[in-house]
Structure 1
Amino acid sequence: MRIHISTNEGVPIYLQIVNQVKYLVASGRLSAGEELPPIRVLAEQLVVNPNTVARAYRELEGAGLVEKRRTAGTYVADNGSRLARGERLKILAERIDALLAESRQLGVSLEDVLDLIRKRDVVMRNGEEGGGS
């Protein structure tokens, strides 16, 4: 499980961990029953206070995404896969919002953005690299 934190984002570290674990579950990179790193191990990897990781794990547990097993660690909950579609759509909605905001700032119309998305989809499906407009 790879998590990257940024102190420059203005987003609390525990929330960055929560969001990234949600993304990993939603994208299928973490599946039901898979164990998350122990709190102390992840805290050492991220160079953060273990309480920060513990808070993130509590948030994830409260959301039903993970479950603690006594003396056995923290695991992705079985119902995590049911949340996956909703989480994927939520992640995409946030990225779409950012894209739309940026396109408005650049003076690019919605029609041009949609056309560019379609073109990029064709490029990606064909396995080509690069190329934009």
Structure 2
Amino acid sequence: MNFDNNKPIYIQIIEDIKKKLIRGDIKLGDKMTSQRELAKEIKVNPNTVQRAYREMESMGLVKTLRGQGTFITEEIDTLKEIKNDMASEVLIKFIQDMRSLGFEDDEMISLIKEYQQKL
């Protein structure tokens, strides 16, 4: 994982897990890597991973079962909400950046259609 110095690492860990869930790399109900294993894997302090897991649990993204581990939620509505929230963040940033460059809404839409055809 490549970390951005402008954002706390625990938030980046959460965002990475959300992206993996949205892409289907991890599934609803999947068991999470243990906190220590993940910390070792991504080379961060275990306390940072612990904070990420704690935040995800308070968000309802994961559930910890004593003696069994931490599991991704099985709630499909939570997945839909995460997907919509992340899409909104990306779109808002895109629109703000394009407007700061002087683009009007209709110009943005034209550019999106043009580049979409190229992909």
Give the TM-score of the pair, scaled to structure 1. Answer: 0.79
Aligned pair partner of 1:26 in 15, 22, 31: 22
Q: Distance in 2 between matches of 1:109 and 1:55?
A: 41
Aligned pair partner of 1:17 in 5, 13, 19: 13
Q: CA deviation at 1:21?
A: 1.4
Q: After alignment, is 104-113 or 52-61 more displaced? A: 104-113
Q: Distance in 2 between matches of 1:33 and 1:54?
A: 19
Aligned pair partner of 2:105 in 102, 107, 110: 110
Are 1:43 and 2:9 counterparts? Answer: no
Q: CA deviation at 1:7?
A: 4.3
State the identity %: 30
Q: Is the 8 A contact 1:14 1:56 kept in 2?
A: yes
Letter of the structure 2 residue corresponding to residue 90 of structure 1: D
Letter of the structure 2 residue corresponding to residue 35 of structure 1: K
Deviations 1:107-132 (A, max 9, x none): 222111111212333333xxxxxxxx
Give unmatched runs, 5+ long, in structure 2: none
Q: CA deviation at 1:64?
A: 1.3
Number of residues of Structure 1 aligned to a counterpart in Structure 2 = 119
Are 1:6 and 2:3 counterparts? Answer: yes
RMSD after superposition: 1.6
Letter of the structure 1 residue corresponding to residue 42 of structure 2: L
CA 1:97/1:50 → structure 2, altered by over 3 Å: closer, same or farther? same
Q: Is the 8 A contact 1:5 1:13 kept in 2?
A: no
Q: Distance in 1 between matches of 2:73 and 2:95?
A: 34
Q: CA deviation at 1:26?
A: 2.8
